[in-house]
């Protein structure tokens, strides 16, 4: 309302502003360009935040699924995480499901842990990919083996270091599969002390805000393997991972990007259906993970790259535009300062809604700083990936 009031006051002072255009054309051009970009960012955020809370109503909405489900987990040297998290996955409040764990060339005691757990849980089975120094492979091979071993049409994916937020997780994801053959869930990270943990959780939050709201708009472009479900027929329609098997990352988002559409994709943002992963404990490991994830984005469809590019530009320009409009010397500079304060307050209020939606807390006031940091981080990784590809082409 304050922003609207400022706009109305601006209209009421058009004569004075017109005179400034005559006396100081460059300054006022900068001012209005800056405000225009900021308002575009605000509208973009309002729309995306609103769509986070939009529920798709289908003929099967509210129907609890009893269809049999295959839960697929790939694990490499995850013995401790499997011991901690598999019981929750195997004890879901669901009548008919199997849990398939693919032990992907582990050199720890993963196989011993799985063998012991199989004695306790009849719905748990596992298979092994032996370690072979002559054969390098990524997660997509393990997923392919897990899917081929599955008995059921409904496939639900979760990582070995993930734990469902409740015993209703599988019921919720499977019920969503009755509405659409692809279901995008929220996979967060556990809250721990330290600035790195806040950075990881904010990054996860901004990614989830983007892919879930866009899917609710009818424009799905990715999902995360920490909490993802699809029907086996969709996997087969995409020819599995064949089209991007050579890329080590992208087992989740590139598959979704290839086949997801407005008609075949839905989301599940019920808190009981969240999953939580173990966060990285060093900046280096987190950066390498971020590097892999952004590399997959190079293979998105053009329209999705354009969408993500617009989002990045609007966020990237926010801080420079706020600084620019406050450096312009005009008689109504006090109103510019009020606008700046109000603008930041509205942006934070929108983020507060997003954080509440995904049960995140602890870094709200740091978000303006994090947005600047991640804008430059994304830019640097994009440039790094581009120069790396150019160098590879030159060498070949």
The DSSP string of 230-277 is: EEHHHHHHTTTTGGGTTSSS-TTHHHHHHH--TTTEEEE--GGG-EEE
Asked, for residue 89, whether it belongs to a domain, the answer is yes
Is residue 169 pLDDT above 90, yes or no? yes
Same domain, 121 and 241: yes
Q: Which residues sit opposite 163 in a β-bridge?
A: 276
What is the reported pLDDT for 2? Answer: 41
Q: Which residue has the tokens 């556990």?
A: 190
Same domain, 31 and 107: no
- Under the banding of pLDDT at 50, 70 and 90, the label for residue 332 is confident
Same domain, 173 and 242: yes
pLDDT in tens, 94-103: 999 999 999 9
Same domain, 84 and 213: yes
Is residue 395 pLDDT above 50, yes or no? no
251-257 average pLDDT score: 87
Q: Please state the pTM of the whole predicted model.
A: 0.87
| Domain with 117 in it | 69-281
Same domain, 335 and 203: no
Exposed, middle or buried: residue 216 (CB in 10 Å: 0-12, 13-18, 19+)? Answer: buried
Alpha helix (H) residue ranges in the chain:
2-12, 14-23, 25-52, 79-90, 110-120, 139-149, 169-177, 195-216, 232-237, 253-259, 283-296, 302-327, 333-357, 367-395
**Number of structural domains, the chain?**
2
What is the reported pLDDT for 4? Answer: 44
pLDDT in tens, 57-93: 555 555 677 899 999 999 999 999 999 999 999 999 9
Comparing 396 with 326, which gets the higher pLDDT? 326
Is residue 3 pLDDT above 50, yes or no? no
Same domain, 165 and 250: yes
Same domain, 27 and 130: no
Same domain, 133 and 17: no
Same domain, 270 and 122: yes
Same domain, 241 and 324: no
């Amino acid at each position: 309302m304050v922003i609207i009031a400022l706009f109305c006051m601006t209209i009421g002072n058009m004569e004075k502003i017109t005179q400034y255009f005559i006396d100081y054309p460059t300054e006022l051009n900068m001012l209005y360009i800056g405000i225009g970009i900021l308002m575009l960012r605000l509208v973009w955020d309002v729309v995306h935040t609103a769509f986070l809370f939009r529920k798709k109503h289908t003929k099967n909405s509210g129907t609890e699924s009893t269809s049999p489900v295959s839960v697929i987990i790939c694990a490499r040297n995850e013995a401790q995480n499997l011991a901690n998290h598999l019981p929750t996955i195997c004890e879901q409040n669901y009548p008919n499901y199997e849990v398939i764990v693919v032990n992907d060339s582990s050199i720890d005691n993963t196989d011993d842990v799985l063998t012991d757990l199989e004695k306790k849980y009849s719905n748990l089975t596992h298979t092994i990919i032996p370690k072979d120094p002559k054969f390098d492979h990524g997660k997509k091979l393990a997923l392919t083996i897990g899917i081929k071993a599955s008995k059921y049409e409904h496939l639900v994916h979760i990582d070995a270091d993930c734990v469902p937020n409740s015993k209703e997780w599988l019921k919720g994801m499977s019920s969503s599969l009755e509405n659409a053959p692809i279901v995008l869930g929220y996979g967060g990270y556990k809250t721990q002390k330290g600035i790195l943990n806040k950075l990881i959780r904010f990054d996860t939050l901004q990614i989830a805000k983007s892919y879930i709201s866009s899917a609710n708009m009818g424009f799905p472009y990715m999902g995360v393997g920490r909490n993802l479900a699809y029907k086996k027929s969709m996997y087969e329609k995409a020819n599995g991972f064949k089209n991007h098997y050579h890329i080590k990352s992208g087992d989740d988002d590139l598959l979704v990007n290839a086949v997801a559409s407005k008609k075949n994709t839905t989301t599940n943002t019920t808190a009981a259906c969240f999953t939580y992963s173990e966060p990285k404990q060093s900046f280096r490991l987190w950066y390498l993970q971020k590097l892999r994830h952004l590399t997959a984005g190079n293979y998105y469809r053009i329209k999705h790259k354009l969408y993500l590019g617009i989002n990045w530009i609007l966020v990237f320009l926010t801080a420079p535009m706020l600084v620019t409009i406050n450096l312009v010397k005009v008689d109504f500079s006090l109103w510019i300062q009020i606008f700046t304060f109000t603008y930041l307050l509205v942006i934070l209020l929108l983020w507060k809604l997003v954080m509440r939606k995904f049960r995140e807390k602890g870094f709200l006031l740091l978000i303006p700083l994090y947005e600047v940091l991640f804008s430059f981080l994304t830019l640097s990784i994009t440039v790094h990936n581009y120069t790396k590809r150019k160098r590879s082409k030159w060498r070949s």
